[in-house]
Amino acid sequence: MANAVISVSGAAMSFLLQKLAEEASSLQGVRDEIDEIKHELESMQSFLKDAETKKHLNEGARNWTMEVRDVMYQVEDIIDEFMYRMEKQQIGHGFKMGFLHKAIHFPRVIYVRHQFATQLQVVKKEIIEISERRKRYGLEKIEEGSSSNDDTQRWSRYAESSLFVEQDEMVGIEKNKDMLVRWLIAEEPQRMLFAVAGMGGLGKTTLVTQAYKSQAVKKHFHCHVWISVSQSYRIEELLKSLIKELFMANKEAAPREIGIMDYRQLVETIISYLRGKRYVVVLDDVWNVDVWTSINVAFPDDRCGSRVMFTTRQEDVASSSTSLGGIGSHVFHLEPLHDDEALTLFCKKAFWNIPERRCPRELEPSAQRIVGKCQGLPLAIVAVGSLMALRDKTMLEWNKVEYSLGYELSNNPMLETVKKILLLSFNYLPYYLKHCFLYCSIFPEDHLISRKRLIRLWVAEGFVEERRGLTMEEVAEDYLKQLIFRNMLQVGETNEYGRLRKCKMHDLMRDLALSTSEKERFCMVYDGQETSVSSRARRLSIHKISDNIPSSVSASYLRSLFIFDNDTIPSYTFKEISSGFRLLRVLDLENSLIQSVPDTVGDLFNLRYLNLRWTAVGELPKTLGKLCNLQILDIRWTNIEKLPCEILNLKKLRHLLASRNRRVHTPIFGFFTGLQPPMGIWKLRSLQSLYSIEAKGDIVRDVGNLTQLRKFGISMVKRVDGKELCASITKMKSLLILRVMTTNEEEALDIESLSTVPPFLHKISLYGYLEKLPHWVGTLDNLMHLTLYWSRLREDPLASLQALPNLAKLILVKAYIGQELCFHAGDFPKLKKLLLQDMNQLNSIRIQEGAMQSIDKLYLIRCGELKMLPWGIEYLTTLKELYLQEMSDQLVVRLRTDETGDRSKVCHIPKILNFFWIEGKLHSEDLS
């Protein structure tokens, strides 16, 4: 765990130095002290980067690292407190002060700066003493602890032990093994590269081992070689190992001079040996694409059917390497074990001394829950199974382990291997990803984490570095992709065009992240037990609310607060939060049952992120205007109707996400609406999201000044607003998402005059009557998602939309009043989801063969005149889900029986559901 602590401290140091640079202009008067501290911290950072490369540190280095962490937090606290007090002075006396007021105010500012300088002198002295201790105790050169071997060597030995595991000890591997064997011995003559990718502990090495050891592979190849690469490889040493293994496999003596060979000579030796031979090479545990690019030249392609196969935890390494591997090279993504396979493997270990290795019936529920915590990870299942084999076979004993598995993982020596292997992935992360990964443990177990929410939180926390030409959110999204590629986070949900919508953490990865976070005081989770929270926690995630915030939490240390408990938060508790925890950067109360926001929220000067989404809040206090550092305000689906004019003071606001809550079960016009904005909203020039507001006064014209908007929504639009709205949208060159709604169902939406369409638009939602579909919609090559509500078009809209090359989601609700829709061959090549709803005149849908070749989901809702399934639905061979709701009885009856032949047309669709209302409740019928 020591190197994980080093990693977190190094990331925290980088964050602090970045913060010092950003706040430089606000720290005038104490620049000399700050510069001296910064210089010492940079020296410490170099030490931490060196320490991070070591896997086991001596006790002195570990203790020194903890001291560095504490002093870093102390510096951050002093700076935040200074900024708070200076800002309070300015707000308290007003920004526009006369000479007399300034004269009175000036001594107070001097006093605050003097106090701050005194505190800095104290902490500077402490930093210097810490640096001196590093030299005094010989820590200038970090040495590894003598009592432990390198983690990488331990992992290599563990991986190579897979070569000797007996077949009957494995579960769920046979099918994948047979597939790999077929790939290896296929007749294709060209050399090919195969990658097996997946998170640590998933069984990649074991799977590849079994394929490599199979008799079919042994007979097929002349040469066989297996090499463990690991994180700390050196290319020359890797090549030397290859040579030794090649010669040893064929019982030949390796050249004596390989110890003094350079890179070129080593490559030439390997090429000479392999020339004209059919070989199979396994590179186990590859962490970097440079491995393949560096040794690729050593493996000749004599069209003998040679194969190279490697394992990796990183999807990007797998895809990048195989793209260089030649024709036929590809990636196999290893999935976790299914529930039944996982339980079977667990029982093989836990009940090895019981006949047939069966779980006693009374322990089955507990065993299933314990196995469920492992989420199909074979390494963890085997380790936990072995642990349970030593425990008494009683429900009481097993329940104890079940509830303390996270603790066991971090502290039980029997699970040490699991912890080490999972931590290798964390230790290999670049520093800027470490905090981002640990941050995900804030969310409850099995929680699907919204991509957009997570990205905005990372930005607000200051974890994201600026990159020229990209927004902070775009950089953060790249961070998220890297964590997904490295299998540190898992894909939870994707949208119709393949973009990540939600991610999740494997339970064991989350347990390790929480353990690391708690040791570093990076974050704590409160589940109702007071003893579980450190007094110096920087972030607190409350999963179970009590009468009050944990008393052990220190207001001066806390920077982020999350409440995931859906119970009502006592009003006095919210007041305590907003008045006591004055240095909070993040306050996330999404889905909680709060009903009001106290005026004291304005005292949270440091606040960057405020999330009140899906709460019952009906009004924002005027004091919100004091939050001059606020970057993200999320008040979607609340009862708020109007934004206070004080919001115009929030010059750093980047995302204003607002929509009024209309809790209705069926879509009606205006089921959502924007908020009434104050005049002058266009002055918030930092806004990237304004979603949604009402079109009041000069708003339609003025929003054209927000040229940097990427997400824009507006409601209550009138026909006469059309030209001004189009003129404003034309100025939004970076716009990605557009939503426009008229005042009512009869109001015409006039946006035909949009002369220059923002080139990157990928999502459009139009609500209101359209005399015709705007001509420019059919020209949007980047459009992926189109929604038309209440358009009531007389002309078939498909004629204008069919050629859109990237359209993946099409929603048409009361959008067409014609009788027939026809999808021609070649139409909508990338469409994944199609929803047709409330088409009251529609009585025929025709689908030609070759149309919608990528369709995945089809929804038909309240199209009463449609008496039979779409003609040609059998051509939609990719269709996986068909949903019907309140459709005609004739259509449903035809689908229930085989008499009409409709059943045979949909037999290829795995999931068919019919929804209908009975006594005010929605019921479903499975017609699959």
- The pLDDT tens digits of the residues spanning 258-314 come to 889 999 999 999 999 999 999 999 999 998 888 888 899 999 999 999 999 999 999
Position 162 pLDDT exceeds 60: no
CATH topology for the 2-136 domain = 1.20.5
Q: What is the pLDDT of residue 141?
A: 52
pLDDT of 716-735, one tens digit each?
Answer: 999 999 999 999 999 999 99
Q: Indicate the pLDDT class of residue 459, thresholds 50, 70 and 90.
A: very high
In angstroms, rounded to a whole number, what is the distance separating the alpha carbons of residues 246 and 856?
Answer: 49
Q: Which residue has the higher pLDDT, 812 or 20?
A: 812
Q: Which helix (H) or strand (E) holds 274?
A: helix 263-274
Q: What is the pLDDT of residue 24?
A: 60
Burial string for 585-620 (b: 16+ CB within 10 Å, else e) reads bbbbbbebebeebbebbbbbbbbbbbbbbbbebeeb
How far the first Cα of the chain sits from its last, in Å, is 51
Within 10 Å of residue 470's Cβ, how many Cβ atoms? Answer: 13
Long-range contacts, stretch 568-575, CB < 8 angstroms, 24+ apart? 568/592, 568/593, 568/594, 569/545, 569/593, 569/594, 571/596, 571/598, 573/545, 573/547, 573/548, 573/549, 574/598, 575/600
Q: Which residue has the higher pLDDT, 397 or 308?
A: 308
Q: What is the pLDDT of residue 99?
A: 44
In angstroms, rounded to a whole number, what is the distance separating the alpha carbons of residues 776 and 599?
Answer: 47
Alpha carbon 454 to chain centroid distance?
A: 7
Q: What is the pLDDT of residue 785?
A: 96
Distant-in-sequence, close-in-space partners of 422: CB < 8 Å, separation ≥ 6 = 200, 201, 508, 509, 512
Q: Interior CA angle at 192 toward 191 and 195, to 5°?
A: 150
User: Nearest CA to 458 among 70, 5, 15?
Assistant: 15
User: What would the CATH number be for the domain defined by 151-333?
Assistant: 3.40.50.300
Q: What is the pLDDT of residue 95?
A: 44
In angstroms, rounded to a whole number, what is the distance separating the alpha carbons of residues 877 and 847?
Answer: 12
What's at 237, amino acid-wise?
E
Residue 283 C-beta-side C-alpha neighbours within 13 Å: 32
pLDDT of 109-125, one tens digit each?
Answer: 676 777 777 887 888 88
User: Nearest CA to 516 among 493, 497, 488, 496?
Assistant: 488
Q: What is the pLDDT of residue 865?
A: 95
Q: Interior CA angle at 430 toward 154 and 236, to 5°?
A: 55
CATH topology for the 429-520 domain = Arc Repressor Mutant, subunit A (1.10.10)
Burial class (CB in 10 A: 0-12, 13-18, 19+), 139: buried
Q: Give the residue extent of every domain in the chain.
A: 2-136, 151-333, 340-419, 429-520, 818-928
Residue 139 C-beta-side C-alpha neighbours within 13 Å: 24
Position 408 pLDDT exceeds 90: no
Q: Which residue has the higher pLDDT, 86 or 151?
A: 86
CA Rg value for the chain: 31
Q: Indicate the pLDDT class of residue 552, thresholds 50, 70 and 90.
A: low
Q: Indicate the pLDDT class of residue 161, thresholds 50, 70 and 90.
A: low
In angstroms, rounded to a whole number, what is the distance separating the alpha carbons of residues 608 and 630?
Answer: 4
In angstroms, rounded to a whole number, what is the distance separating the alpha carbons of residues 149 and 144?
Answer: 9
Position 168 pLDDT exceeds 80: no
Position 96 pLDDT exceeds 50: no
DSSP-assigned letters across all residues of 631-656? -EEEEEEES--B--GGGGG-TT--EE
In angstroms, rounded to a whole number, what is the distance separating the alpha carbons of residues 603 and 564?
Answer: 23
Burial string for 359-373 (b: 16+ CB within 10 Å, else e) reads beeebeebbeebbeb
- Mean pLDDT for all residues in the chain: 85
User: Nearest CA to 631 among 614, 613, 612, 606?
Assistant: 606
Q: What is the pLDDT of residue 914?
A: 95
Phi, psi of 415 (to 5 degrees): -105, 15
Distant-in-sequence, close-in-space partners of 397: CB < 8 Å, separation ≥ 6 = 391
In angstroms, rounded to a whole number, what is the distance separating the alpha carbons of residues 853 and 856?
Answer: 9
Both structure tokens of 581: 């925890």
Position 8 pLDDT exceeds 90: no
pLDDT more than 70, % of the chain: 84
Q: What is the pLDDT of residue 55?
A: 46
Q: What is the pLDDT of residue 812?
A: 97
Q: What is the pLDDT of residue 111?
A: 66
Q: Indicate the pLDDT class of residue 104, thresholds 50, 70 and 90.
A: very low
Position 413 pLDDT exceeds 90: no
In angstroms, rounded to a whole number, what is the distance separating the alpha carbons of residues 728 and 723?
Answer: 9
Alpha carbon 417 to chain centroid distance?
A: 27
In angstroms, rounded to a whole number, what is the distance separating the alpha carbons of residues 558 and 538?
Answer: 4
Q: Which residue has the higher pLDDT, 641 or 47?
A: 641
